[in-house]
Chain A
Amino acid sequence: MFDWLESFADWFVYSILQISAESHLGTALNFFVYDTIKILILLFVIVFIMGIVNAYFPVERLRNLLQRKKLYGLEYFLSSIFGAITPFCSCSSVPLFIGFVKGGIPLGVTFSFLITSPLVNEVAIAMFIGLFGWEATLIYAGSGILLGTLGGWLLGKFNLESWLTDWVKKLMDNTSQEKVAVNEQKRGFLERIPEISREAWGIVNSVLLYIIIGIGIGAAMHGYVPGDFFTEYLGNGSWWTVPFAVILAVPMYANAAAIVPVIEVFVAKGVPLGTAIAFMMATVGLSLPEGTLLKKVMTMKLIAVFFGVVTIFIILSGYLFNLII
């Protein structure tokens, strides 16, 4: 699929820049050009597809679907899937949370969305396909969705409603509200294309720099980190390596674009894929900035339980994948 890009990278680095294919710099630069362009194309395509799905199945429709009660547990799964395919924007998570809770959707189902939304995001998926291939991407996205489903279900069992902040509780009691007039124009598919591609470009543009930095760091690490460095510390299969990697990652906040190339190096240098995915999930899925945003709707106790459950599930999925891969 990307043969043409390989030829382009060869031509660009070896003929135009005249850097020898035998030199270390030449191969590194070739990788860098190839990976960066490939990932940008993948990201654009993924965001574009997500845009089409969201245009036809907006989150309001999901809410209506979830409000019809009889889904026999499937609601957690649906909510989690939607968390995965909705482009993640941290500034939308609070309005969305309120919208769900106020719409009478159980807290657990709302949590399913909230867990998966940052965990499985378009940037990470594009980078996974580009750097690890399809199989690893499916494992990553699948485990993220599963994690959101189970995590939300478990959190729902705890009856945590009383730990929401007071004004959210008030909102829940007072579900009747004046109707706001909506006058959104209905548009056909072709009319939406320019707007969807504009959104996709916007997202690509906003992470472009991170992708370049991330791949740059990855390329540099490949060459200069000794081959057994990580194996010695994280790859020797000790039981504590997964929780260690995850707990190390929770307070860290990095854009998925910057973290995936780095864990690709981890894996190449001997860290098991499960441990690496767990590390990445904890970095992008749980972060202090997110916790700060959620403080508006959740008490500290609830945030702690939420983070705690997700952390434990990420650790468990790390173990699981190390076992089965």
Chain B
Amino acid sequence: MKKIKILGPGCPKCKATHQNVLKALESLQLDADVQKVEDMEEMLKYDVMTTPVLLIDETIHIKGRVAQVSEIKELLKQ
């Protein structure tokens, strides 16, 4: 099972990313461990300077912008 993390302090863009991840999973009929990381100290372990950040299995894939459903689907298929 893939581990997906969304880093971001709860701003609208972070929420949109979270929603898109859920939509992508639903349309692919996949199950994943989705985590929203809102704690600043935890977030900074990943050395991010712009939020939101999308991590899949501890790898940063998209940062600083809202990931689109189609993009997330592509990433999850890999």
- Complex-state Cα separation, A185 to B74, whole angstroms: 12
B50 partner residues in chain A, CB cutoff 8 A: 58-59, 92, 95-96
Q: Which of B41, B49, B62 lies in contact with A184, CB distance below 8 A?
A: B62
Verify if A167 is at the interface (C-beta below 8 Å from B).
Answer: yes
Please, how many angstroms separate the alpha-carbon atoms of A252 and B48 in the complex? Answer: 31
Taking the complex as formed, is B1 at the interface, i.e. its CB lies under 8 A from any CB of chain A? Answer: no
Q: Assess whether A183 is in contact with B40, with CB atoms less than 8 Å apart.
A: no
By DSSP majority rule, is chain A's interface helix, strand, loop, or mixed? helix
A232 within 8 A of B: no
Min CB gap B37→A, angstroms: 12
Q: Name the residue of chain A whose CB is nearest to the CB of B14.
A: A91
Pick the residue among B45, B49, B60 that contacts A183 (CB under 8 A). Answer: B60
Closest A residue to B8 using CB positions? A91
Bitwise interface map of B from 40 to 60 toward A, beta carbon under 8 Å scored 1, else 0: 110111111111000000111
Bound Cα distance A185, B78 (Å): 13
Residue in A95, A184, A206 whose beta carbon sits within 8 Å of that of B44 in the complex: A95
How many residue-residue contacts, CB under 8 A, span A and B?
Answer: 78
A195 vs B62: C-alpha distance when bound (angstroms): 12
Name A residues whose Cβ lies closer than 8 Å to a Cβ of B: 54, 58-60, 63, 89-92, 94-96, 98-100, 102, 167, 171, 177, 180-185, 195, 198-199, 202, 206, 296
CB pair A181 B60 closer than 8 Å: yes
Roughly how many angstroms separate A198 CA and B68 CA in the complex, as a whole number?
A: 10
CB pair B59–A95 under 8 Å, yes or no, is no
The residue in B47, B51, B58 that gathers the most chain A C-beta atoms within 10 A of its C-beta is B47
B25 within 8 A of A: no
CA distance A4 to B64 in the complex (A): 36
Expressed in whole angstroms, the Cα–Cα distance for A45 and B36 within the complex equals 33
| Interface residues in B, total, Cβ within 8 A | 28
Q: Can you list 8 contacts pairing A with B, beta carbon distance less than 8 Å?
A: A89-B13, A91-B8, A94-B9, A102-B44, A180-B59, A181-B58, A198-B66, A296-B40
A94 near B47 with CB under 8 A, answer no
Q: B residues within 8 A CB of A198?
A: 66, 68
Task: Find chain B residues with CB under 8 A from A202 CB.
Answer: 13, 66
The residues of B that contact A89 with a CB separation of less than 8 Å are 11, 13, 51
Beyond known contacts A95-B50, A99-B47, A182-B60: 8 more, CB 8 A cutoff = A89-B11, A91-B51, A95-B44, A177-B45, A180-B45, A184-B60, A195-B65, A199-B65
A182 touches B59 (CB 8 A): yes
- On whether A95 and B10 interact (CB within 8 A), knowing A58-B64, A183-B60, A184-B63, the answer reads no
Question: Could you say which residues of chain B place their CB within 8 Å of the CB of A296?
Answer: 40
User: Which residues of A are found within 8 Å of B44, using beta-carbon distances?
Assistant: 95, 98-99, 102, 171
Which residue among B49, B58, B66 has the maximum number of chain A CB atoms within 10 Å of its CB?
Answer: B49
Q: How far is the CB of B26 from chain A (nearest CB, A)?
A: 21
